[in-house]
Structure 1
Amino acid sequence: MAMPPKHARVVIVGGGVIGCSVAYHLTKLGWTDVVLLERKQLTSGTTWHAAGLIAQLRATKNMTKLAKYSQELYGTLEDETGVATGFRRNGSITMALSQERREEILRQASMARAFGVEVEEIGPDDVLARYPHVNVEDMTAAVYLDKDGQGDPANIALALARGAKDRGAVVLERTKVTGFEKQDRRITAVNWESAEGEGRITCDHVVNCAGMWGHEVGRQMGVNVPLHACEHFYIVTDTVPELTQLPTLRVPEECAYYKEDAGKILLGAFEPMAKPWAMKGIPEDFEFDQLPEDFDHFEPILEAAVNRLPLLAETGIHTFFNGPESFTPDDSYHLGLAPEMDNVWVAAGFNSIGIQSAGGAGMALAAWMDTGSKPFDLGDVDISRMQPFQGNKTYLFERSKETLGLLFADHFPYRQKATARGIRRSPLHEALKSEGAVFGEFAGWERANWFADAGQKAEYEYSWKRQNWFDNAAREHQAIRENVGIYDMSSFGKLRVEGRDAEAFLNYVSASNLSVPVGKIVYSQFLNTKGGIEADVTITRLSETAYLIVTPAATCLADQTWLRRHQGDFNVTITDMTAAEAVICVMGPNARALLERVSPNDFSNATNPFGTCQEIEIGMGLARAHRVTYVGELGWEIYVSTDMAAHVFEVLHEAGRDMDAKLCGLHMMDSCRIEKGFRHFGHDITSEDHILEAGLGFAIKKTDVDYIGRSAVEQKREEGLRMRMVQFLLTDPEPLLYHAEPLLRDGEIVSYLTSGAYGHTLGGAMGLGYVPCEGESAAELLASSYEVEVAGQRVAARASLKPFYDPKSERVKF
């Protein structure tokens, strides 16, 4: 066997389909000194026993783009490499058995149309024509995707490896990585051992493609890769006489999928409560292994399957298979540059969709590594979304029980995870809980999303229609609009940037002007070199040398990492202060009156105008009052150290009782912000959305100071806009919008909604979305008629470039 080279531009750890895809795509971009090390044999971990289903449609546009790319790649690999991939487009059917699931799959079909995926709603006769063996008696709906397919997982991986080797990559089996040498935030060498000896490879980059070993390998590298292996079950029948090629069949409510393969039926399961595996580590000799059978665990799936596919009752079981696959805390895979290091990349945790994801994931990561910039928005899977605590093994063990089953569970809007809860809590948690708060989980934080009435069950009851909290949130929304509400925003990230160069540094990384007086609050974006939005923040100048950046809870680590990677020679320190201060929001027309009851400070426009903060006394404590809003009303965010937070909340809550001040949850915040047209980072604005096309040009600095993305802003101003962010309000008050609904202009699908919520004040569901507008004026854009497709039905919508609610922001500033 060949010995590893002494140096490589990149060392890829792991020889499953993902590692092979990364190697293939890097060599395709011209990287020649690529080394892939596999501890045993290629595909011997999870790839070899994967079902090999290759679907196109994923939950977002870019994930769908990656899945479609995988399909197209696998269709050409055999011709390129000579390795048979077994890829064929046999189509897929997804069947619903209830009205709720019917709405879900019809909404998915609408989303598919918005993303350019061919999809067809079919009835029972059509299902039977394509899949004559299935029982359709209780079917409520079905959709057919003609271009979905399947392939041979191991051979797809081997074809990718062959393609990489043909372009100069070194692929070595039975070569175990034993450790890493580090210097500061970089890995400088990879240590290895094999039957031929041991050694080290110096390198410029390392990629963790270690699959279910990814968490352990990540720790050796000094990075956090939260994933855990679970047992995944399927059976393969004996040969079924005269069985013809069939589409893949999915029956999510029975947790089952069916794949025809060489005259047999493979029945796989995503049961509601999974069995985590290898809590004490994966055995050293694991290679092409399977786990012990557990027929009792699989039996409920099989019972439903015999009813769904009666031929199973007459067919013997050839193979009962149980093999491990890795799952992440949120059922999205991990991709990208690890936050903790500057040359460690991750592609792992593929949640049982590794084959359909591998091509696209390898392409996207290779492009990112080659240019240093993401090729498009990858926020759904960017490893920097993972919080440090999510690498905790007990947490991963508990959460993985649920995430496997969630693949086929109802994907209800606002659905909350049930496992691994209660980890990060605001200082107000117990006080809010005692008042009827119903919590959701976000980035590990328990956050009050709505408040139950006396006698009302304080938990979610999920539906695609109006859920049990709809009226509660409407009343909270009304309190903010008409009186005053109090809510907890402590989970939002808080980064303190301090040092003699703080002003110059933030003027460089921010598109806004930070040369402002002490106490000024600036709404701002961090841009990439394409003018895309990497962060959407407020920045408050606390002193001559210190600023506080407030950012969404889930992006705090990503934003801190972005700042550190662009720090250069600026003399600053960047500190995560999130847990140091609670944030209590007091919002609504009577917010000033409530604060004047509990504080001797002056909250007038003259002393504390919109966009400024001041130190205040409140009750018997001290705090900082930021006059800023995400709900579009007069109000303040009260920043108070965590030790005094409970006291300040009690003072505000008590003083507000006879004013009917209402405790509110974050569902209210979302419905208020969408009425005001405020953007939501990660949905409405991402790294591939240009700041000018997002309608945020007003936040850009008007000085000559250089900043990241400036040339892209100037270029876009010269070229003109190709897209505009538009706000929509449905004319029918009944349908609900969530996100990704197709947007039709003059009867043709032109885009989709990036976010949606119900506008309780305006009396209808609302959404934001980008509309192509190259060469058009604003008036021409708005002259068209618009509709939104909701579960296959078109609903008329009004369109506006200005906020429907308080377009001049007069309510915010009075």
Structure 2
Amino acid sequence: MGDLPTRARVVIIGGGISGCSVAYHLAKLGWRDIVLLERKQLTCGTTWHAAGLVGQLRASQNMTRLAKYSADLYARLEEETGLATGLRQCGSISLALSDERREELLRQAAMARAFGVEVHDLSPAGIKELYPHLNIDGVVSGVHLPGDGQADPGNIALALAKGARQMGARIVEGVSVGAVHQAEGRVTGVTWSRGEEEGTIAAEHVVNCGGMWGRDLAARDGVTLPLHACEHFYIVTEAVPDLARLPVLRVPDECAYYKEDAGKILLGAFEPRAKPWGMGGIPEDFCFDQLPEDFDHFEPILEAAVNRMPVLAEAGIHTFFNGPESFTPDDRYYLGQAPEIDNYWVAAGYNSVGIVSSGGAGMALAQWMEDGAPPFDLWDVDIRRAQPFQKNRRYLRERVTETLGLLYADHFPYRQVETARGIRRSALHGHLKDRGAVFGELAGWERANWFAEPGQPAEYRYSWGRQNWFENSRAEHMAMREGVGLLDMSSFGKIRVEGGQALKFLQRLCANQMDVAAGRIVYTQMLNPRGGIECDLTVTRLSRTAFLLVVPAATLHRDLAWLRRHLGEEFVVITDVTAAEAVLPVMGPKARDLLSAVSPSDLTNAAHPFGQAREIEIGMTLARAHRVTYVGELGWELYVPTDQAAHVFETLVEAGADHGLKLCGLHAMDSCRIEKGFRHFGHDITDEDHVLEAGLGFAVKTDKGDFIGRDAVLARREEGLTRRLMQFRLTDPGPLLHHNEPILRDGQIVGHLTSGNYGHAVGGAVGLGYVPCRQRGESVEEMLTSAYSIDVAGRHVPAEAFLRPIYDPTSERVRM
């Protein structure tokens, strides 16, 4: 085994497939002094008992990109290392047993075509031809992905480890890591133990690939890594005579998947309510262990499976397996640099898709560590989305009972989680609930998504068609377009940046001009050196030395980390003040009338123009009124101390009875913003999207002096754009758009929608999406003369294309 070094460039904790992939890819990039420490033996946690399914289509383009990379990597590892990975591209079939699931599969197939994944729609007869052992009673349709397959998880991990060793990485088993050391907010090394031996390794980087153990290891070091183990069940039959090689089969309506392996069938389950495990921590001596059988828990899955696959009734059960896997609160894994400690990296929490994910994740994380920035947009899995409260073990135990089953549940648009709710509530939560609010959850916040009418059940009834709240949201939408609506956006992230050099600091980070008078509100982006968008925000100058940054709820910790990591020698204090103030947007052409009824303050354009924040009287208190809008109408966002929010709400509602005030939810706000073409971070704009190609050049002031991303903006202006973010409206008012639907230009797929919703004021579904230029710098006129359509579940629906907003293109209404 040999002595451990006293110094390394990077220490990787955990020898499952994830840790081995990170070591392999760092070595590929030429890193030296790589040390991987495994507490017991390589693959002994989750990797060794994984089912090894390799499905390339994921929920977004870049997650699909990583999965496809994994498949390509595993195909070439044997030649490189001499170890077989067991990869065979036998394809996969997914079945629909209902019309709703059929719609989901058709939309997934359309998405696959947009992402370059081969896919074929299947009739029940076509399914039977590919999978003759199947009982197709009740089967409506299916999809076939020929490039999918299966592999041997343990051998993949060992091949990655061998490849890493061949390139100089050191991999040591039987060594536990006790703590990660840090100084001045940066990793300095780790403490290790091996039997009676103990020591330290000084290191520039540490990567937590601890799997089930990752949460507790991270928590010891003050890092948030919310994951929890669940029991995961499968059976393996005795050999089935004459069983040919078969595709992987998924029957999500029966919570089951099937894999043929060496003449046997493996049947696995993603049951609706899972069993969490390891509440008191994962045993230190856990190594290649199984959990006790629970046949009663598995029996409903098996009963349906025997009907679906009659051959199972004839085959004996060779193995009943129960092993733990880690799951996260949102069914997405964690990747990237922890916001709490510089150079503390994470690759963990794979939600039972670790085999197909780890190859690509290891590549992406290694490149991120090399470059100091992700190779492309990875916000889907970025560790910075995790909320500190989510490492609470009771919260995790309750949530993961649901998230395991959600992998195979209907992925309806707007589906809300049901467990571990009610943790972050605004001061107005009770008031909204009493008035029919139906809440959704984001970053732990309970937010009113829509309001039920009296007598209407205040609950979601999901569908791929118009859901039960569609007309409610239409009424809320039109209230903001024609009258006045009131929202609760207290979940906005709010950050104070203050100090003698606050202006200098923000001028360097923000693309717009920050040197404005006190009271001015500036819409801006923070860019990376590539011109990509790291943060989309408004900045209000409160005084000479104080600024308020308002950011999306989901990105608060990402944005705080970006600010703090770029703080140089400036004397600046950065403070999260999200909980200090409630935010009540009053939006619509009658907003001024309503506010004038409860405030003696002058709200005319002359006294309070667009883009201005000032203190006003309201009811019997004060509010800071920001004249801005995310819905494209006249309006103010009222910032009120949390303890006075209820009074302001009651004052507005009471006066609103005479002005037709309607309480509005987040669904209506989103449909309004998409009509207006306003961008949404994480969908329409990401760190991969150049600010000019996103159509936000108006918020960039290159003449103000240097700032991060300025050179990339100037270069792109000189070279010309390679693509543009366009807005689309379906000419048929029937279909609905959500996101990821393929965009066709003159009959050819050229991209996909980044977001979509229904445009109630413009009479059809509206979406945003990037369209490549046919040649660099292609003119607006040329792009608009093409014929566009959107693929909605396999149907090509003609669409009008716009580069200016469909609704109020000159923004006259916001300045009324």
Shorter-chain TM-score bucket reads over 0.9
Counterpart AA for 1:656: G
Aligned to 2:812: 810
Q: Are the equivalent residues in 1 in contact too, given 2:226–2:390 (CA < 8 A)? A: yes
Distance, in Å, in 1 between the alignment partners of 2:443 and 2:284 is 33
* Equivalent position of 2:781 in the other structure: 779
Write the letter of the residue equivalent to 1:24.
Y
Matched AA of 2:262: A
Query: Counterpart in 1 of 2:139?
Result: 139
Tell me the residue number matched to 2:512.
512
Amino acid in the other structure paired with 2:144: Y
Offset of residue 744 of structure 1: 0.2
In structure 2, stretches of 5+ residues that fail to align are: none
**Corresponding position of 1:125:** 125
Aligned residue type for 2:420: A
SS in structure 1 of the partner of residue 250 of structure 2: strand
* 2:569 aligned partner: 569
Measure, in 1, the Cα distance between the counterparts of 2:219 and 2:389. 13
1:600 is aligned to 600
Distance of 1:531 and 1:702 partners within structure 2:
12
Equivalent in the alignment of 2:182: 182
Q: CA 1:628–1:219 in structure 2 vs 1: closer, same or farther (change >3 Å)?
A: same
**Aligned amino acid, residue 312 of structure 1:** L
CA shift, 1:130, in A, is 1.2
Q: Is 1:304 aligned to residue 304 of structure 2?
A: yes
CA contact (8 A) 1:177 1:191 kept: yes
By how many angstroms is 1:470 displaced?
0.1
1:546-561 superposed matches below 5 A:
546-561=546-561
Aligned position for 1:257:
257
C-alpha distance in 2 between matches for 1:746 and 1:702: 36
Displacement of 1:284: 1.6
Farther-moved stretch of structure 1 (769-778 vs 522-531): 769-778
Contact 1:48-1:154 within 8 A present in 2 as well: yes
> What is the Cα deviation at residue 187 of structure 1?
2.3
Displacement of 1:587 in angstroms is 0.5
1:684–1:768 Cα contact (<8 Å) kept: yes
| CA displacement at 1:705 relative to structure 2 | 1.3
**Which residue pairs with 1:532 in the alignment?**
532
Matched with 2:732 is: 732
Measured after TM superposition, the shift of residue 532 of structure 1 is 0.2
Report if the CA contact (8 A) 1:501-1:572 is conserved: yes
What is the identity, as a one-letter code, of the residue corresponding to 1:130? L
Q: Secondary structure at the match of 2:359?
A: helix
| Matched residue type, 2:392 | N
State the 1:283 CA deviation: 1.2
Aligned counterparts of 1:743 and 1:129: Cα–Cα separation in 2 = 32
* C-alpha distance after superposition, 1:653-674 (max 9, x if no partner): 1001121110100100000000
1:221, distance to aligned residue in structure 2 (A)? 2.6
- Give me the whole-angstrom Cα distance separating, in 2, the residues matched to 1:432 and 1:220: 39
Deviations 1:731-779 (A, max 9, x none): 0000000000000000000000000000000010000000011331110
CA deviation digits over 1:255-276, x for unaligned, max 9? 0000000100000000000000
Sequence identity (%): 68
**What is the aligned partner in structure 2 of residue 44 from structure 1?**
44
Shift of residue 196, structure 1, vs aligned partner: 7.0
How far apart are the structure 2 equivalents of 1:374 and 1:308?
44
Contact 1:675–1:803 (Cα < 8 Å) also in 2: yes
Structure 1 gap segments, 5+ residues each:
none
Letter aligned with residue 34 of structure 2: V
| 1:87 maps to amino acid | L
Q: Which moved more, 1:37-46 or 1:700-709?
A: 700-709
Secondary structure in 2 aligned to 1:139? coil
Q: How far apart are residue 220 of structure 1 and its match?
A: 2.2
Retained in 1: the 8 A contact 2:448–2:666? Answer: yes
How many angstroms apart in 2 are the aligned matches of 1:577 and 1:534?
20
Task: Quote the RMSD (CA, aligned, Å).
Answer: 0.7
**Structure 1 residue 271 corresponds to structure 2 residue 271:** yes
Q: Secondary structure at the match of 1:703?
A: helix
2:371: which partner in 1? 371
Whether the aligned pair in 1 keeps the contact of 2:702 and 2:710 (CA below 8 Å) is no
Checking the alignment, whether the CA contact within 8 Å between 1:187 and 1:221 is kept in structure 2 is no
Residue 390 of structure 1 deviates from its aligned partner by 0.7
Which residue does 1:406 correspond to in 2?
406
Aligned to 1:745: 745
Q: Is the 8 A contact 2:231 2:323 kept in 1?
A: yes
Q: Measure how far apart 1:199 and its partner are.
A: 1.1
Paired amino acid for 1:454: P
Q: Show the counterpart of 1:343.
A: 343
Q: C-alpha separation between the residues in 2 aligned to 1:671 and 1:83?
A: 53
Amino acid at match of 1:784: S
TM-score by length of 1: 1.00
Q: How far apart in 1 are the matches of 2:165 and 2:268?
A: 34
Q: Give deviations 1:415-466, integer Å, cap 9, x for gaps.
A: 0000000000010000010000000001000000000001000000000000
C-alpha distance in structure 1 between counterparts of 2:38 and 2:412, whole Å: 40
Using the alignment, how far apart are the partners of 2:51 and 2:556 within structure 1? 37
How far apart are residue 176 of structure 1 and its match? Answer: 1.0
Question: What per-residue deviation string (whole Å, max 9, x for no partner) do you get for residues 393-432 of structure 1?
Answer: 1110110100000000000000000000000001000001
Residue 202 of structure 2 aligns to which amino acid in structure 1? T
Q: Counterpart in 2 of 1:799?
A: 801
Equivalent residues, number: 814
The answer (yes or no) to whether the contact 2:64–2:115 under 8 Å persists in 1 is yes
Contact residue 744 and residue 790 of structure 2 kept, 8 A: yes
Map 1:223-234 onto structure 2 (within 5 A).
223-234=223-234
In 2: Cα distance, 1:260 partner to 1:196 partner: 45
Q: Tell whether the 8 Å contact from 2:511 to 2:702 is kept in structure 1 after alignment.
A: no
Partner residue, 2:768:
768
State the Cα deviation string for residues 523-554 of structure 1 (Å, max 9, x = none).
00000000000000000000110010101100
Map 1:123-522 to 2 at 5 A: 123-195=123-195, 197-522=197-522
| Letter of the 1:30 counterpart | G
Alignment of 1:621-660 (within 5 A): 621-660=621-660
2:25 corresponds to: 25
Q: Does the 8 Å CA contact 1:524/1:538 hold for their aligned counterparts? A: yes
Instruction: Kindly indicate whether the alpha-carbon contact (under 8 Å) linking 2:485 and 2:588 is maintained by their aligned counterparts in 1.
Output: yes
Task: State the secondary structure of the residue aligned to 1:471.
Answer: helix
Q: How many Å apart are 1:512 and its aligned residue?
A: 0.5
CA contact (8 A) 1:69 1:360 kept: yes
Decide whether the 8 Å contact of 1:730 with 1:766 is kept in 2.
yes
- 1:122 positional shift: 1.1
Aligned amino acid, residue 352 of structure 1 = S
SS in structure 1 opposite 2:658? Answer: helix
Match of 1:116 in 2: 116
1:425 is paired with a residue of what secondary structure? coil
Deviation at 1:143, TM superposition (A): 0.2
Aligned to 2:104: 104
Note the alpha carbon deviations across 1:559-610, whole angstroms, 9 max, x for none: 0110000011111111111100000010000100100011111111111100
SS class of match (2:703): coil
Cα distance in 2 between the residues matched to 1:333 and 1:180:
22
For 1:583, the aligned partner's letter is V
CA distance in 1, matches of 2:86, 2:790: 39
Deviation of 1:186 after TM superposition, in Å, equals 1.7
1:324-367 deviation line (CA, Å, top 9, x unaligned): 00000000000000000001000000000000001000000000
2: CA distance, partners of 1:626 / 1:759: 26
Alignment match, 1:545: 545
How far the C-alpha of 1:161 sits from its partner, in A, is 0.2
What secondary structure, in the 3-state scheme, does the structure 1 residue paired with 2:380 have? coil
Q: Aligned equivalents of 2:90 and 2:537: distance in 1? A: 47
Give the aligned residue type for 2:782: E
Any conservation in 1 of the 2:14–2:211 contact (CA below 8 Å)? yes
Question: 710-719 or 767-776, which moves further after superposition?
Answer: 767-776
CA deviation after TM superposition for structure 1 residue 188, in Å:
1.2
| Aligned mates of 1:282, 1:588 — CA distance in 2 | 54
Matches within 5 A, 1:72-111: 72-111=72-111
| Aligned residue in 1 for 2:708 | 708
CA distance in 2, matches of 1:348, 1:65: 18
Aligned-partner residue type, residue 779 of structure 1: E
Alignment check: 8 A CA contact 2:513 2:704 kept: no
- Which residue of structure 1 lines up, in the alignment, with residue 678 of structure 2? 678
* Equivalent-residue separation in structure 2 for 1:622 and 1:335 (angstroms): 43
Aligned to 2:487, what secondary structure does the other structure show? strand
**CA apart distance, 1:702:** 4.5
